[in-house]
A and B are shown apart, each in its own frame.
Chain A
Amino acid sequence: MINPKAKTAVKNTLIYLTLTTFALFFVIPFLWILSTSLKGNEQIFVIPPQWIPSTFMWDNYAKVFERIPFLLYVKNSVFISLIVITGTVLSSSIVAYSFACLNWPGRNALFVVVLASMMLPMQVTMIPVFVIFKEIGWLNSFKPLTLPAFLGGGAFNIFLLRQFFLSIPRDLLDSARIDGCSEFRIYWNIVLPNAKPALATVSILTFMFTWNDFLGPLIYLSDQAKGTIALGLGMFVGQYVTEWSLLMAASMLMMLPMLIIFFVFQKYFIQGFIMSGLKD
């Protein structure tokens, strides 16, 4: 007869063992990247690999800025991200307000179109959109990457915010209407302040996407001075494929803002996935 206490103890030990194994599997690559980024060339090509560099080459991080215009790339990426976040938050929220809080003929039919447009693969629209921007002479500028954000801000974000806005009590909006509040003021002064968590989720997911976006800049930005950090890193691989310490240092630099944002705003990440994944 096994005593139930011992059974629980064995079970818990097994759980912790499995948890720890997975944790190592997930974390070790980060340590490996960090370790490589601080090594000199002669230390990288050593078998078996050393985990702790004999001398810490902090210099590698400085070299990244010298080899490629990294600071400029960061600046461009930050600039593009800020504009895209602003456009996305403003336009997806006002559209979501219209779909969630206002009654107008054809609303439900058009919302189906919003949902259906999520299914349209980017490849189908990519080429004609490229032709449009080429015709109006916007190639090699940030406009094709930023301005579309102001026109709807993406079907997924509209969907996410609409779900959230639906949970705001109707009485709150109706009493404001009876008091003679304009719809814009209700949207701006009542709905938006009440939806801060959802807006945070949208902003963070938008930042992650824009910061990492590779295809957009690849298609639209041919001038090196216009490059983004994702594009810069992608090109860096081609040019310096054997300089692993510099590549890893650059990767660390690109990951850093994402990691910081994750640790600061963890709950919004989680909320975004739960909101989008479970409700329908």
Chain B
Amino acid sequence: MINFGLNKLSKQQARTGLIFMMPWFIGFLIFGLYPMVMSVYYSLCRYDVLRIPQFIGFGNYEKLILEDPYFWTSISNTLVYTALRVPLCIIGSLLLAVLVNNAVRGVKFFRTVFFIPSIVTGVVLSVVWLWMFNPQFGLLNSFLAYMGISGPLWLLDPNWSKPSMVLMSVWSIGGGRMLVFLAALQGIPKHLYEAVDIDGGGWWAKFRNVTVPMISPVLFLWSVLEIIFSLQVFVEAYVMTQGGPLNSTMFYNLYLYNKAFNDFEMGYASALAWILMIISLIITIIQFRLSKNWVHYDGGAK
């Protein structure tokens, strides 16, 4: 009798469960699965949106890899940007987290102040820094001039344009990433540091042998995420440089956007999207492989 009642209840629950998750499922079919399949198909077609797609096999991929110099430029730009930005942002946020982990009076106030710039993202961030980077009247070169240094042309110099955009993202190191690192730091048991004290180790020994291993899972997770984000950089370049000067900030997604929505080469752009997906996947897999050497879970074995 009771069994029957429970059964009825669980059947009802199963039905309600399926109904309640439907919005996601329908959304996933329309905006996830179907587009994914279509994107593979488009990438094998010539497609300008106006006429129906025309199947050309691997033509887009061949053209991309063999004949398109911009493809390689955009890949190398994006990889350089990622290689500069990710270590700087992760290390910057970590050091800042260590700094605000000091229990001094008023440190909460500083945490708030450090967080504020990270609220500014996308277009506003780009517009504001466009002005900061102005070679003649911008804040950076005015400051450098005051110090007696003649500043670079920043975004207008092909050698400086990528480092400039990386520098701009350093402004946001006090944001969510720092908070997560801080929470991880606060979870490290005190006795581990005391053990280093007994062994006569200084702050570097503590940082190297306790702090970094103990929070390595969080550092690893954010390195994976930040690399994926960095490979997708778009708005900064679109607003600040349109890919210039001399294509030095023609990042992968900017190139993809131009191909798709300026030239309406949707098939070609879809092929570009899949190559980016594959590059991200390969880098992530390599990171997981390498993580076995340095990431410690539960403070125990590697």
Task: Show the binding face of A for B, using Cβ within 8 Å.
Answer: 12, 15-16, 18-19, 22-23, 25-30, 32-33, 36, 44-49, 91-92, 94-95, 97-99, 102-105, 107, 110, 113-114, 117, 119-132, 134, 148, 150-153, 158, 177, 183-184, 187, 208, 212-215, 218-219, 230-231, 233-234, 236-237, 244, 247-248, 250-251, 254-255, 258-259, 262, 266, 269-270, 272-274, 277-278
Contacts and interface: CB of A to CB of B under 8 A. Distances in A.
Contacts of A49: 137, 139, 142
B13 to A, nearest CB: 5
B17 A104 contact: yes
A107 B17 contact: yes
A8 B110 CA distance: 20
A120 B112 CA distance: 33
Interface of B: 9-10, 12-18, 20-21, 23-28, 30-32, 34-36, 38-39, 42, 49, 96, 99-100, 102, 104, 107, 110, 112-117, 119-124, 126-128, 130-132, 134, 136-137, 139, 142, 145-146, 171, 174, 176-177, 179-180, 183-184, 218, 221-222, 228, 232, 234-235, 238-239, 253, 256-257, 260-261, 266, 269-270, 272-274, 276-277, 280
Contacts of A262: 115-116, 119
Given A26-B114, A48-B145, A117-B28, A105 B14 contact: yes
A125 B10 contact: no
Given A26-B117, A103-B14, A47 B38 contact: no
B277 A114 contact: no
A128 B40 CA distance: 10
Contacts, number: 259
A78 B115 CA distance: 24
B179 A274 contact: yes
Nearest to B141: A47
B211 to A, nearest CB: 16
Contact of B171 (A26, A103, A123): A26
Chain B interface mostly helix, strand, loop or mixed?
helix
Contacts of A28: 139
Contacts of B9: 177
B139 A273 contact: no
Nearest to B168: A29
A214 B36 CA distance: 22
Contact of B102 (A15, A148, A177): A15
Given A22-B114, A121-B232, A234-B239, A212 B124 contact: yes
Contacts of A183: 12-13, 16, 20
Given A125-B31, A237-B239, A29 B99 contact: no
A103 B17 contact: yes
A29 B145 contact: no
6 contacts: A26-B171, A102-B13, A102-B14, A121-B276, A124-B273, A208-B119
Contacts of A117: 28, 32
Given A126-B35, A127-B266, A127-B273, 10 more contacts: A92-B24, A125-B39, A132-B34, A152-B23, A219-B261, A244-B131, A258-B120, A272-B176, A273-B177, A277-B183
Chain A interface mostly helix, strand, loop or mixed?
helix
Contacts of B131: 33, 36, 244, 247-248
Nearest to B37: A128
A131 B114 contact: no
A27 B30 contact: no
Nearest to B242: A238
A91 B100 CA distance: 37
Nearest to B272: A123
A273 B21 CA distance: 25
A279 to B, nearest CB: 11
Contacts of A113: 28
Given A103-B10, A251-B124, A277-B183, A95 B17 contact: no
Given A132-B30, A233-B124, A121 B139 contact: no
B27 A151 contact: yes
Given A120-B32, A121-B276, A129-B35, A148 B180 contact: no
A188 B44 CA distance: 47
A95 B119 contact: no
Q: What are the 6 closest A-B residue pairs judged by CB atoms, nearest first?
A: A151-B27, A104-B17, A152-B24, A277-B180, A102-B17, A128-B35
Contacts of B239: 214, 234, 237
A117 B139 CA distance: 42
Nearest to B142: A49
A30 B131 CA distance: 12
Nearest to B18: A104
A119 B229 CA distance: 11
Given A98-B21, A102-B16, A127-B42, A273 B276 contact: no
B113 A23 contact: yes
A107 B15 CA distance: 12
